[in-house]
């Protein structure tokens, strides 16, 4: 292994980057943590909802946010960053 490996995350995003994906099943936007372990071929939302891998992810909720994901996103946003 060489020492030139990229760090797993960029400096200005210390926590997992979260984006919103609109599900065609319930027409709600679900929060996707891109660093989470996702099953092959799908994206697993914070609430457990599965979205297709081809789902377009947005920086902000697209349409109605899923209630569970919105609550989860709010809770994680209120946790202060523990980096100095
Ligand atoms: Zn959800």
Distance 79 CA to ligand 1 centre (A): 19
State the pLDDT at residue 17: 83
**Averaged pLDDT of the chain:** 82
Comparing 12 with 70, the larger pLDDT belongs to: 70
Instruction: Write down the domain spans for the chain.
Output: 18-77
Higher pLDDT: 35 or 7? It is 35
- CB under 8 Å to 63, separation ≥6 — which residues? 22, 27, 28, 29
Q: Considering the entire predicted model, what is its pTM? A: 0.71
CA of 58 to the centre of ligand 1 (A): 14
The CA R_g of the chain, rounded to the nearest whole Å, is 14
């Amino acid at each position: 292994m060489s020492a030139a490996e990229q760090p797993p995350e960029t400096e200005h995003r210390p926590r997992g980057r979260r984006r919103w994906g609109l599900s065609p099943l319930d027409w709600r936007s679900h929060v996707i943590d891109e660093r989470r372990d996702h099953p092959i071929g799908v994206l697993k939302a914070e609430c457990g909802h599965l979205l297709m891998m081809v789902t377009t992810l947005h920086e902000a909720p697209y349409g109605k946010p899923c209630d569970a994901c919105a609550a989860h996103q709010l809770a994680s946003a209120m946790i202060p960053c523990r980096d100095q």
